[in-house]
């Protein structure tokens, strides 16, 4: 399986980079996993709703340039479906079994993802009703992907 994490923004703190790298290292035994980043847009704290959409669209265009057309696209969005770890593992396993072994996850910036990207996604995934910083969300996603492979392989770790 080939997994791409397509994310807006760079990891700024060393501890996020170290956490990301640890999970990427662990995942090597199960899949080819890559993280690709695009530049996040700067905007004023008092950004208006029209400007919010413009920011999301500019970030979205950058993300779209990284999407492989053959990839099964999963967008992280608070309005997406929440899954338990076992369900998420089952979804990844099913994708691999049905020939969809190229999977891309997209993580938006602090304002979220553009409507165009959300409508293009094959699946909308939510980890919580809470809003998380996109740097933390990247590490959470990688951990859950790793956990999924452990579940699929029936290896200890999950509990």
Q: What is the CATH number of the domain that holds 11?
A: 3.40.1280.10
60 falls within a domain: yes
Among 16-30, 85-99, 124-138, the least confident range? 124-138
Average pLDDT over every residue of 27-54: 92
Binding site, annotated residues: 76, 108
Can you give the residue range of the structural domain that contains 120? 2-152
Is residue 130 very low, low, confident or very high in pLDDT (cuts 50, 70, 90)?
confident
72-82, strands of its sheet edge to edge: 32-38, 2-8, 102-107, 72-82, 123-126
pLDDT for 50 equals 83
159 falls within a domain: no
Binding site, annotated residues for S-adenosyl-L-methionine: 76, 108
41 falls within a domain: yes
Burial of 76 (0-12, 13-18, 19+ CB in 10 A): buried
Is residue 24 very low, low, confident or very high in pLDDT (cuts 50, 70, 90)?
very high
75 falls within a domain: yes
Q: For 65-119, what is each residue's pLDDT tens digit? A: 999 999 999 999 999 999 999 999 999 999 999 999 999 999 999 899 999 999 9
157 falls within a domain: no
Domain count within the chain: 1
Residue 159 has pLDDT above 70, yes or no: no
Write down the mean pLDDT value for the chain: 94
pLDDT for 131 equals 84
């Amino acid at each position: 399986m080939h997994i791409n994490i397509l994310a807006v923004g760079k990891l700024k703190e060393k501890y996020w980079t170290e956490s990301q790298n640890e999970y990427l290292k662990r995942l090597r035994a199960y899949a080819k996993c890559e993280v690709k980043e695009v530049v996040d847009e700067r905007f004023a704290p008092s950004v208006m709703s029209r400007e919010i959409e413009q920011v999301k669209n500019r970030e979205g265009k950058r993300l779209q340039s990284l999407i492989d057309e053959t990839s099964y696209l999963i967008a992280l969005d608070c309005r997406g479906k929440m899954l338990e770890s076992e369900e998420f593992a089952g979804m990844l396993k099913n994708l691999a079994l049905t020939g969809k072994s190229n999977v891309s996850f997209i993580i938006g910036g602090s304002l979220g993802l553009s409507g165009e990207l959300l409508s293009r996604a094959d699946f909308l995934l939510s980890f919580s009703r809470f809003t998380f910083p996109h740097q933390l969300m990247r590490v959470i996603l990688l951990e859950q992907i790793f956990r999924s492979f452990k579940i699929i392989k029936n290896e200890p770790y999950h509990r």
